[in-house]
């Protein structure tokens, strides 16, 4: 009755597991759509390095076409035309992809990391620490984000793109922390945590080695939704004129279009950045939906 | 030779009353119990749900802090250890839990799970630890060990997971292991295997076990001594066959008479008592079992009976003896 | 007189990974007034059979073949409307974790009355009186019928659920692990209550459990299931005195008992099989000490050896 068992190495198991997760993710068609859209934007972002190499006039912020003064319609040289300063709009669009991804992902990462750590500590220790942290979270949640950023921007004089990233991150952590906290509350009573305690594990080890891996899938899920929010927030800020004028983001493009009075005259200027913002934000949201169906049943899995 | 002694062990859990509660109320989970466990014996804590057996077992591993009372391991007081000494103490004791699905971290592979006590207690190098994990897996008969080390809990059956839990308890070479209903959630045909494994471990490694269960048939099979608990108190302790054959306390008698026997020709004589255990919140004075006892007398409701030795270290807490 | 007859029931569950062959060619019959026990480990199919009789299976359950005769009617071929008439009135069920089957926001009496009036067109007052009688029957205080479930203890809830199952005077009651999660003493009281009721009302009982001790004490006929097949079916006394199937024997040897001499338990080697791809031939062969070549190839026939003692094993000849 002895069966020949093929012993798999750890590496083989890891590959199998990744394949398994991907197989599960693939079942969600919206999730795969989200990834497809994201891949397109990644290509666009990488492609943003190409136009400046072709000709200096394609440099997004400074490059102007010597032959054209100001606003022009799409042409062979400029697939989307030029803006009011004679700068090529297509290279601006590509540059915007780079910033959209950078800002979205970094800001979301910041808020999810802070939110997860706060959620872990809050949920595990309970008591006074929990109350304090959760009250702080509540305060941040009730702050109106855009007026606040306006005030800070006024106080600092100007907002760089990284100021904006930090601000979005600092305003976004409470929602993640609450979800992580409730996960931790249920996890900390589980026998495998008691077992760790019986072995002599310290609180920090239990939090970061035992509990954290179990909440990370949820964190990742919240990060995808966080990126959506971050992209939209940055676009809104830039459009309102609170953005960083030295970076070319899609929001800034919209702002320039608006303030130069070309809103209704230049669909090739107005529509592309707007659509890009929508679709990039959407792609992360769809990825989130695809991830959710992996994360949620897994959390309940035996 | 005595290994563990508990004296006047008590654990009260506060009950959060309403805003208008004047006096705080407590659940008397474990209420002033004494017992003594010999080296290399399997000591049973048995009783129905809510009797305090799980809390008592958690007190022994200091998963829960005693409200008052003493616990001695090899003569050393462990009830009041703190900090580094507490961590040192934890090398001596490990626990096996009831639910094989919940007692293993779903994100750890088997190697990480079993190696964890070693890592936490800073024992061995990475290679040495791997070696010890392999040995532990072999001991619990999960062979070949190489096949199991990189698996995850969801890839194993209930019985296999429980064996991993036992391996994790063993790897640090403790003096005693507390097992809280380790076979209750396993399939019937698997239980015998895990139970026999624990008996073998006691033989091979001279381990001492504290075995908590509500199933008296299991208790009889595994344990050398059994302590019957009711509402936080130990009502009777005796050597297993003595307890089963010659129970003295009315609750023990009722409990034993209620256990079904796998024999259709057996006509059990059922001892009827009023059903339903009451909660152990702020219990009234006197014997805890008095409200349900068919033989309750006046004194039973006034004062707590103290354990009496009725011969051969058979202790009963009852005024009837 | 036969009241229930299951013939060659084959039931699979459809899952993402394929078909789980939960019940494979199970046949047995139950006489009127008999207490029959269906015993086996988790996943052996006993609950599935209970649910199949009442056609309360989940959506991914597919009955591949077989008949279940209740009297003269094949339950599996009845239209849903007629099946609904039989549920609760002809055959009723006490579910696993039944105490969780009580709706916490309704009074218990209301729940039982609703169950009655769904199946019988009688006025509310009459239904309430029946609840009164039922309560007395199961040993509950009728004055507490208007309470909410959380005010009852575990044992009381179980009795309430039994009362609900009896409420339409069914001919057959299927009790699926009615005493798990109950303490030993309460469990004993409930089991003796059920036994009393069964004898008093001359009801047919199908008692499903993994606890062979409980089954031994409550049932006259016992069917042993393993991994979706019926291994053995005999009178309780015959089964224990002369277990024929190796699985039954192994099961007997792995149960500790509080009475009798203390003997070393012999575990059954291996694990219960994965029903997505069960072993070929006799499903027990990988773990069977008597396994022969034929066991791997051919499924043994369920045969009556003597005195209604059935078993499916090649080693019995």
Residue A8 within any structural domain of the chain = no
Residue B277 is predicted with a pLDDT of 67
State residue A178's pLDDT score.
94
**Least confident piece of the model among A35-49, A80-94, B8-22, C266-280:** B8-22
pLDDT-based confidence at residue C179 (cuts at 50, 70, 90):
confident
Q: Which of A5, A192, A200 sits opposite B120 (nearest CB)?
A: A200
pLDDT value at residue C254: 87
From chain C, the residues in CB contact with A1 under 8 A are 269-270, 286-287, 291
Q: Is residue B218 part of a domain?
A: yes
> Is pLDDT of C239 > 70?
yes
Q: How confident is the model at residue B19 (pLDDT cuts 50, 70, 90)?
A: low
Does B292 reach chain A within 8 Å, measured CB to CB?
no
Residue A169 lies in a domain: yes
Which pLDDT does position B21 carry in this prediction? Answer: 62
Percentage of chain C beyond pLDDT 90 is: 37
Assess if residue A12 is contained within a domain. Answer: no
Contact B49 C267 (CB under 8 A): no
Q: Where are the alpha helices (DSSP H) in C96-255?
A: 108-119, 124-138, 154-166, 184-201, 212-218, 236-241, 246-253
Round the average pLDDT of chain C to a whole number and report it.
89
- The verdict on A192 touching B (C-beta cutoff 8 Å) is yes
Joined together, the tokens standing for residue C35 give: 């207490």
Which of the four pLDDT bands, split at 50, 70 and 90, describes residue C99? low
- Within-domain flag for B41: yes
Instruction: Examine residue A294 and state whether it is found in any structural domain, yes or no.
Output: yes
User: DSSP for A18-84?
Assistant: HHHHHHHHHT-HHHHHHHHHHHHHHHHHHHTTHHHHH-GGG-TTT---TT--S-B---SSSTT-B-T
User: Which stretch of DSSP H or E encloses residue A121?
Assistant: helix A89-125
Q: How far is B221 from chain C (nearest CA, A)?
A: 6
pLDDT of residue C200: 87
CB contact under 8 A, A200 and B87: yes
Q: Is residue B110 part of a domain?
A: no
Confidence band for C291, pLDDT divided at 50, 70 and 90: confident
State mean pLDDT over B206-222.
94
Q: Residue A295: its pLDDT value, please?
A: 77
Print the domain residue range for A115: 25-299
Residues of A in Cβ contact (< 8 Å) with C269: 1
Residue C216 has pLDDT above 80, yes or no: yes
What is the mean pLDDT of the segment spanning B290-297?
Answer: 86
pLDDT of residue B24: 75
A 177-236 → C contacts, CB under 8 A? none
Contacts of B217 in chain C (CB under 8 A): 213, 255-258
- CB burial class (10 A; 0-12, 13-18, 19+) of residue A240? middle
Q: What is the pLDDT of residue A265?
A: 81
Share of chain B above pLDDT 70, in %: 96
Instruction: Check: CB of residue C245 under 8 Å from CB of residue C232.
Output: yes
* Gap from A201 CA to chain B (nearest CA, Å): 6
Is residue B31 included in any domain, yes or no? yes
pLDDT tens profile C15-26: 878 899 999 999
For range B124-132, the mean pLDDT: 92
Q: What is the CATH number of the domain that holds B257?
A: 3.40.50.300
**pLDDT tier for residue B275 given thresholds of 50, 70 and 90:** low
Domain assignment of residue A11, yes or no: no
Complex-level ipTM = 0.89
- Which residue in the block uniquely carries the two structure tokens 């010659």? B246
Considering the domain boundaries, does residue B131 fall inside one?
Answer: no
Domain that holds residue B42: 2-81+210-261+269-316
**Per-residue pLDDT at A299:** 44
Residue B291, domain member (yes or no): yes
How many domains is chain A partitioned into structurally? Answer: 1
Whole-number mean pLDDT of chain B? 90
CATH of the domain at A33: 1.10.3720.10
| Chain C residues closer than 8 Å to B267 by CB | none
Domain count, chain B: 1
Q: Out of B105, B117, B151, whose CB is closest to A210?
A: B105
Q: What is the pLDDT of residue A4?
A: 53
Mean pLDDT of C52-63: 89
Can you tell me the mean pLDDT for C244-265?
89
How is residue A265 written in tokens? 């005259």
Write out residues in chain A with pLDDT < 50, as ranges. 1-3, 299-302
pLDDT at position A302: 32
Angle at B261 between CA C222 and CA C44, to 5 degrees: 40
Judge whether A36 lies within some domain: yes
Tell me which of B113 and A237 has the higher pLDDT: B113
């Amino acid at each position: 009755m002895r069966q020949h068992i093929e012993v798999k190495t750890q590496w083989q198991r890891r590959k199998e597991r990744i394949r398994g997760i991907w197989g599960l993710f693939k079942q969600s068609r919206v999730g795969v759509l989200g990834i497809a859209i994201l891949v397109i934007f990644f290509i666009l972002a990488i492609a943003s390095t190409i136009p400046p190499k072709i000709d200096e006039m394609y440099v997004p912020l400074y490059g102007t076409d010597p032959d054209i003064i100001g606003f022009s319609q799409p042409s062979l040289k400029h697939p989307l035309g030029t803006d009011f300063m004679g700068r090529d709009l297509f290279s601006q669009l590509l540059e915007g992809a780079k910033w959209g991804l950078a800002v979205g992902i970094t800001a979301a990462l910041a808020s999810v990391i802070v939110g997860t750590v706060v959620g872990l500590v809050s949920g595990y220790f309970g008591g006074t620490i929990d109350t304090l942290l959760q009250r702080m979270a509540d305060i941040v949640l009730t702050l109106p984000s855009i007026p606040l950023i306006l005030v800070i921007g006024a106080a600092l004089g100007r907002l760089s793109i990284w100021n904006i990233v930090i601000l979005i991150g600092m305003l976004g952590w409470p929602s993640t922390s609450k979800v992580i906290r409730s996960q931790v509350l249920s996890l900390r009573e589980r026998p495998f945590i008691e077992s760790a305690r019986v072995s002599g594990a310290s609180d920090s080890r239990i939090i970061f080695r035992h509990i954290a891996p179990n909440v990370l899938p949820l964190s990742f899920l919240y990060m995808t939704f966080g990126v959506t929010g971050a992209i939209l927030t940055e676009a809104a800020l830039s459009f309102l004129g609170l953005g960083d004028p030295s970076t070319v983001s899609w929001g800034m493009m919209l702002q320039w279009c608006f303030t130069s009075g070309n809103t209704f005259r230049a669909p090739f200027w107005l529509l592309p950045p707007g659509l890009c913002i929508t679709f990039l934000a959407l792609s992360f949201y769809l990825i989130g939906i695809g991830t959710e169906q992996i994360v949620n049943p897994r959390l309940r899995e035996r | 030779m005595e290994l563990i002694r508990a004296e006047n062990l008590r654990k009260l859990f506060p009950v959060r009353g309403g805003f208008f509660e004047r006096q705080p109320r407590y659940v008397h989970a474990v209420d002033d119990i004494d017992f003594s466990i010999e080296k290399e014996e399997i000591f049973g804590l048995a009783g129905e749900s809510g009797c305090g057996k799980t809390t008592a077992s958690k007190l022994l591993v200091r998963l829960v802090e005693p409200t008052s009372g003493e616990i001695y391991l090899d003569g050393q007081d462990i009830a009041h250890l703190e900090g580094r000494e507490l961590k040192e103490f934890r090398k001596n004791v490990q626990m096996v839990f009831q639910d094989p699905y919940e007692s293993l971290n779903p994100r750890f592979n088997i190697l990480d799970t079993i190696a964890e006590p070693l890592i936490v207690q800073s024992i061995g190098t990475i290679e040495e630890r791997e070696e010890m994990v392999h040995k532990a897996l072999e001991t619990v008969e999960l062979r070949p060990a190489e096949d199991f080390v990189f698996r995850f809990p969801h890839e194993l059956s209930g019985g296999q997971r429980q064996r991993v839990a036992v391996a994790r308890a063993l790897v640090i070479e403790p003096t005693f292991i507390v097992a809280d209903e380790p076979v209750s959630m396993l399939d019937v045909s698997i239980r015998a295997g895990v139970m026999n494994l624990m008996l073998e471990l006691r033989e091979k490694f001279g381990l001492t076990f504290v075995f908590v269960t509500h199933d008296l048939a299991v208790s009889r099979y595994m344990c050398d001594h059994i302590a019957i608990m009711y509402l936080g108190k130990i009502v009777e302790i005796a050597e297993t066959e003595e307890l089963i054959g010659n129970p003295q306390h009315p609750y023990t008698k009722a409990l034993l008479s209620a256990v079904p026997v796998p024999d259709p020709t057996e006509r059990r004589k059922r001892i009827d008592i009023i059903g339903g255990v009451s909660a152990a919140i702020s219990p009234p004075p006197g014997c805890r079992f008095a409200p349900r006892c068919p033989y309750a007398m006046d004194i039973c409701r006034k004062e707590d009976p103290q354990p009496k030795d009725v011969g051969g270290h058979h202790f009963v807490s009852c005024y009837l003896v | 007189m036969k009241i229930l007859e299951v013939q060659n029931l084959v039931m699979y569950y459809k899952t993402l990974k394929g078909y789980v062959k939960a019940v494979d060619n199970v046949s047995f019959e139950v006489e009127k007034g008999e207490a029959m026990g269906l015993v086996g480990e988790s996943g052996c199919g006993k609950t599935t059979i209970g649910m199949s009789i009442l056609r309360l299976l989940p959506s991914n359950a597919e009955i591949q073949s077989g008949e279940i005769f209740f009297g003269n009617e094949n339950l599996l071929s009845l239209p849903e409307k007629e099946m609904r008439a039989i549920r609760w009135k002809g055959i009723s069920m006490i579910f696993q974790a039944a105490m969780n089957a009580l709706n916490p926001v309704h009074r218990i009496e209301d729940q039982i009355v609703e169950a009655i009036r769904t199946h019988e067109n009688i006025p509310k007052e009459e239904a309430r009186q029946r609840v009164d009688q039922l309560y007395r029957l199961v040993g509950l205080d009728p004055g507490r019928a208007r309470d909410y479930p959380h005010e009852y203890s575990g044992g009381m809830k179980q009795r309430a659920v039994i009362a609900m199952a009896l409420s339409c005077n069914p001919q057959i009651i299927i009790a699926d692990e009615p005493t798990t999660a109950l303490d030993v003493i309460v469990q004993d009281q409930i089991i003796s209550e059920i036994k009393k009721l069964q004898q008093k009302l001359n009801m047919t009982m199908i008692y499903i459990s993994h606890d062979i001790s409980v089954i031994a004490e409550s049932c006259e006929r016992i069917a042993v299931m393993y991994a979706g097949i019926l291994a053995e079916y005999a009178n309780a006394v015959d089964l224990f005195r002369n277990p024929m199937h190796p699985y039954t024997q192994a099961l007997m040897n792995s149960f500790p008992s509080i009475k009798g001499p203390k003997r070393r338990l012999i575990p059954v080697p291996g694990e219960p099989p994965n029903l997505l791809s069960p072993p070929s031939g006799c499903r027990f062969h990988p773990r069977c000490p008597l396994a022969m070549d034929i066991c791997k190839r051919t499924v043994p026939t369920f045969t009556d050896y003597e005195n209604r003692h059935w078993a499916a094993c090649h080693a019995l000849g």
